[in-house]
Amino acid sequence: MSIWLGLAGFGIVFFSAVLMVGLSYLRRKTPSVFRDIPAFTRLRQAVGLVVEDGSRLHVSLGRGALTTPQSASALAGLALLRRLADLTSAGDRPPIATSGDATLAILSQDTLQTSAKSSEQAVFDPAAGRLTGLTPFSYAAGAIPAIRDENVSANVLMGNFGVEVALLTDAVERESTFVLAGSDDLTAQAVIYASAPEPLIGEEIYAAGAYVESSPLHSASLTVQDILRWLIIAAILVGALLTLAGVL
C-alpha cells in the first residue's frame, strides 16, 4: 500500500517537474497573467521609497530550519531577498536580513554577498545578514532592534514564523513603517492577518518569486500550482462521490 503511495507521490513530483520545465519554455513566448496581489504592488512602491530616501530595507526570514519541511518558506524568502537586494543595490545602504536559524543566516549572507558582487558594490557587510536568536522568541526579540534602530522604512517578513511574528508586526506598527508579512504557519498567518496591513495569505508567499522576479520558471511554478490545485479538487470531489456510493 505504502509502496503505491510512494509511487503516486513520485508521480506527482515528476509530473509537476516536467510541467514546470515545459511551461517555463512556453512562458517565454506567451507569458501568463496572474491575479493581482496588492501586497506586492505596495512592496514595490515601498522598495522604491527605500532607495530614494536612503533608508533601509529589512527582510526577516523566519526560523524554519533547512532540515524541516518549513524550509521552503524560508527559501522563498531568500529568493525574494535576492531580488530586493538587487533592487536596492544602488541605495545608500544594503538591506538587512534577520533570521532565527543559523543555516538561514548563512544563506542570507550568501545571498546578500552575491547581490553585492553582481551589483559591483565593493563593500559587503556580513553584519547585514544576521542571526538574531536561536529560539523563536529570542529571534523575534532580537529582530525588534533591527526594525527600530536602523532607519528601516520597509520590512518584509517572509518565512516560517510562529505567533512570535506578532512581536515583529507590532514593532513595525509602532514605527509606522511598511511591512509585508507572510508565513507558511497557519497560526502565524492568522496573527499576520490581524496585525499586518499587507498580509500574504497561504501560498501567496511562494508566489513572491513570480510576482517580483517573473522569470519563466517562477511563473511556470504558479501555473503548475494551479494545475495541481484543480487536480486535487477533482480528487476530492471524485473521492467524495465514491465514499457516498460506498465504494471507498
Rounded to whole angstroms, the Cα distance separating 121 from 108 reads: 17
The C-alpha cell 516560517 sits at 160
In three-state secondary structure terms, 5 is helix
Q: Is 159 in the site for another protein (CB under 8 A)?
A: no
**Residue 9 Cβ vs another protein, minimum distance, rounded to whole Å:** 4
Residues 40-59 that bind another protein (CB under 8 A): 40-41, 44-45, 47-49, 51-53
Figure out which of the listed residues 95, 96, 181, 219 binds another protein, where binding follows CB under 8 A: 219
Residue 218 binds to another protein (criterion: CB under 8 A):
yes
Q: Alpha carbon of 103 to those of 70, 134, 230: distances in Å?
A: 13, 11, 35
CB atoms within 10 A of CB 88: 22
Per-residue cell: 79 = 529568493
122 binds another protein (CB under 8 A): no
Rule CB under 8 A: say whether 161 interacts with another protein.
no
Residues contacting another protein: total by CB under 8 A: 157
237 in contact with another protein (CB under 8 A): yes
Report in angstroms how near the CB of residue 43 gets to another protein at its nearest.
8
**By CB under 8 A, residue 20 contacts another protein:** yes
Q: Per-residue DSSP letters for 66-119?
A: TTSTTHHHHHHHHHHHHHHHHHTTTSSSPPEEEESSHHHHHHHHHHHHHHHHHT
Among the listed residues 42, 248, 55, the one whose alpha carbon sits nearest the alpha carbon of residue 151 = 55
* Nearer to another protein among residue 93 and residue 213 (C-beta): 213
**Position among 59, 78, 96, 156 found at the interface with another protein (CB under 8 A):** 78
26 binds another protein (CB under 8 A): no
| CA 10/CA 84 separation, integer angstroms | 34
Tell me: does residue 151 bind another protein (CB under 8 A). Answer: no
Alpha-carbon gap, residue 212 to 130, rounded angstroms: 23
Query: 86 or 93, CB closer to another protein?
Result: 86
**Of the residues 97, 156, 180, 205, which one makes contact with another protein according to CB under 8 A:** 205
Minimum CB distance to another protein, residue 142 (Å): 5
